[in-house]
Amino acid sequence: MKRILVTGANGQIGVELVPYLRRLYGDANVLATDCRAASPEMRDSGPFDLLDVRDGKAFLDLLSRFKADTVMHLAGILSATGEANPQLAWDVNATGTFTALECARSTGAAVFFPSSIAAFGPNTPPRMTPQDTLQRPATIYGIAKVTGELLCDYYHLKYGLDTRGLRFPGLISYVALPGGGTTDYAVHIYYDAVSKGSYTSYIAKGTFMDMMYMPDALEAVVQLMEADPSRLVHRNAFNISAMSIEPEQIALEIRKHIPEFSISYEVDPVRQKIAESWPDSLDCSAARSEWGFSPKYDLASMTADMLKRVREKLARS
């Protein structure tokens, strides 16, 4: 990767991935785009353009003018927001991904596609979910993610495009708030722990989902995109995860730092049903053996860092 166009750059991942890429490849070599205006930090640290990923003409124009060799296609609508507006979710997530691939086909750029644990469904084996298994998701978000994975494989097989993807678990971070997903509780719990000393979870006690701290996710994206292609048996998309956890375990870990912290539950039936349709834990052996996936943060080290960073952030605001 030398010149990278990032879509959906203002989101939870983009606000950290863009600076990370700019540090690695040079500020001028990473074009951030989003359909919403950029923050001053994003705008002032390198090139930014407005782009709605459904607008193929504008997309191709930017990609060609910037001479990007890689598209990191982050633009999307997350699972809970998607269930509230399935038509919009399909349009942005499926049509937007098809548009990104068509533009990349025209210029020969490589494509990074962020799939999700949502690409699995209620009849997928839920524990140590294999890399290759049954994928019959029950959400429009998941259906669009499977579509994206298959399209990326198709563009690789048919046109030789260098498409690569990760099935991200729930990502936990402190720079931007999550954008309307089912795993968002695992971020909100840290903010409420610091600001209120308590948290009311919309996900039920005992509901396991895979999670990962953002620094490990950023490293995984670059590791995969820089991996020797001859080692890649799979491409779209690799299971990755750093921990399989449920709300009580996070609460227990937070109590090691804030002993009075308490958790209660007001379960949201929509997000709970989505969570129950996703795996409890993923088998990440393909990512480990094909390109050396090796996350550094576990629940204890992530919790210590999240609490410190959220405390600093809230003290500044």
- Per CB under 6 A, residues contacting ligand SER are 78-79, 116-118, 170, 181-183
Amino acid at 215: P
Residue 182 binding partner per list ligand SER, ligand NAD, none, with a CB distance cut-off of 5 to 8 Å that depends on partner kind:
ligand SER
Q: Does 92 bind ligand NAD (CB under 6 A)?
A: yes
Q: Does 140 bind ligand NAD (CB under 6 A)?
A: no
| Closest distance to ligand NAD from the beta carbon of 262 (Å) | 25
**In the chain, which ranges are E strands?**
4-7, 30-34, 48-50, 70-73, 110-116, 163-168, 170-172, 198-201, 209-213, 238-239, 243-245, 262-265
Residue 121 binding partner per list ligand NAD, ligand SER, none, with a CB distance cut-off of 5 to 8 Å that depends on partner kind:
none
User: Which is closer to ligand NAD, CB of 168 or CB of 199?
Assistant: 168
On the 0-12 / 13-18 / 19+ scale of CB atoms within 10 A, 221 is: buried
Q: Catalytic residue among 141, 174, 199, 213, which? A: 141
Q: Does 144 bind ligand NAD (CB under 6 A)?
A: no
Residue whose structure tokens are 């509230």:
84
What is the chain's alpha carbon radius of gyration, rounded to the nearest angstrom? 19
| Closest distance to ligand NAD from the beta carbon of 118 (Å) | 7
Cα–Cα distance for residue pair 115/216, rounded to 1 Å = 16
| Closest distance to ligand NAD from the beta carbon of 212 (Å) | 8
| Closest distance to ligand SER from the beta carbon of 40 (Å) | 27
Cα–Cα distance for residue pair 132/84, rounded to 1 Å = 29
| Closest distance to ligand SER from the beta carbon of 90 (Å) | 15
Integer angstrom CA distances of residue 163 from 13, 90, 120: 19, 21, 20
Residue 244 binding partner per list ligand NAD, ligand SER, none, with a CB distance cut-off of 5 to 8 Å that depends on partner kind:
none
Q: Does 129 bind ligand NAD (CB under 6 A)?
A: no
Is the peptide bond preceding residue 237 cis, with omega within 30 degrees of 0? yes
Q: What are phi and psi of 189, to 5 degrees?
A: -60, -35
Is 199 annotated in the active site?
Answer: no
Binding residue for ligand NAD, selected from 5, 38, 68, 74, defined by CB under 6 A:
74
| Closest distance to ligand NAD from the beta carbon of 141 (Å) | 7
**Pattern of binders to ligand NAD over 212-241, x per CB under 6 A?**
------------------------------
Integer angstrom CA distances of residue 240 from 12, 26, 122, 131, 251: 18, 27, 19, 9, 23
Amino acid at 220: A
Residue 306 binding partner per list ligand SER, ligand NAD, none, with a CB distance cut-off of 5 to 8 Å that depends on partner kind:
none
**Residues 28 and 46: beta-carbon distance below 8 Å:** yes
Binding residue for ligand NAD, selected from 142, 165, 181, 279, defined by CB under 6 A:
181
**Tokens representing residue 220 in the block:** 């995984």
**Residues annotated as part of the active site:** 141
Residues forming contacts to ligand NAD in the complex (CB under 6 A) are 7-8, 10-14, 34-36, 51-54, 74-76, 78, 92, 96, 114, 116, 168, 170-171, 178-181, 183
